[in-house]
Structure 1
Amino acid sequence: MAFTTQRKVRFQHCDPAGIVFYPRYFEMINSVVEDWFEEVVQRDFNQLHVESGTGVPTAAIDTQFHAPSRLGERLTFELAVQTVGRSSLTLQIIAYCGDQKRLTSSSTLVYVDLNSGKPVPWTEAMRQHFTVENL
């Protein structure tokens, strides 16, 4: 089952016309991924980055913007795991406002040791939460 969460479009996300400025969507996507790690994978970013000395930088992201989002709207984000590698993970993220699709994104994260910057295998404790599905 896809992870679902909501974000309210705030003034900080918008250009002077009151429409989400596209780079702000990437901040929203990152916050959705961060929430997914905490709520589903059961590893918050403090545990990953600070306590464990590991991280999950974005190695690739491909995003299509389908319709504008406006100040005050509530966006529903759905996140699903597309593929799992030894040290990588590709996520599909779709944002809706009501029934209207606003964006579709495919994001590949790599699990790395922050000291060396090199990929490391996912731990079994994390891997067990990676269920591949399609949105």
Structure 2
Amino acid sequence: MHFSVQIPIRFGDVDAAGIVYYPRLLHICHQAFEECFQQRGPMPYHRWTRDQGLGFPTRDLEAEFTAPVIYSDPVQVDVATSDVGRSSVCFHFVGQQSQGDGDPKVCFEASVTKVCCSIEGMTPVEIPADIREFLISLEVSR
């Protein structure tokens, strides 16, 4: 089952045209990733990285921007996973915004492959069992 979170759009997120600058959309995906850990994971991401000395750096990403995200309503970001492997997982993000009309439309989609790594050596390690269980709970239905 996927996870959904509302991410507010702030003045600092937009350019002179009032449109969210595209690298900020990738940051919004990361905010949704961390919020997913915060609300549904075995522990908040920042605590996991600090206490376990592990992290999920990005190995690969693809994004498609289908409509501008504007300085108005928050963006709803849906988070799901697929391909949970020994040390890697693919996160899928879909961002929707109603832009004041009450009719949400998809504005961006991104797939981000992350690898569980030791922070000290940045070497891949096996995803711990509690994190694996959490990631599998987010898997996209096939």
Q: TM tier, shorter chain?
A: over 0.9
Q: Show the counterpart of 1:133.
A: 140
Q: Show the counterpart of 2:122.
A: 117
Q: 1:81 is aligned with what amino acid?
A: T
Structure 1-normalised TM-score?
0.93
User: 2: CA distance between counterparts of 1:24 and 1:93?
Assistant: 14
Q: Report how many residues are paired.
A: 135
Q: Which has the higher strand share?
A: 1
- Seq. identity, %: 25
Asked whether the equivalents of residues 81 and 134 of structure 1 are also in contact (C-alpha less than 8 Å), the reply is no
Asked whether the equivalents of residues 111 and 119 of structure 1 are also in contact (C-alpha less than 8 Å), the reply is yes
Mapping of residues 1-135 of structure 1, within 5 Å:
1-98=1-98, 99-129=104-134, 130-131=136-137, 132-134=139-141
Structure 2-normalised TM-score?
0.89
Name the Cα RMSD after superposition: 1.4
Q: Higher mean Cα deviation, 39-48 or 88-97?
A: 39-48
Structure 2 unmatched ranges of 5 or more: 99-103
Structure 1 unmatched ranges of 5 or more: none
User: 2: CA distance between counterparts of 1:51 and 1:126?
Assistant: 14
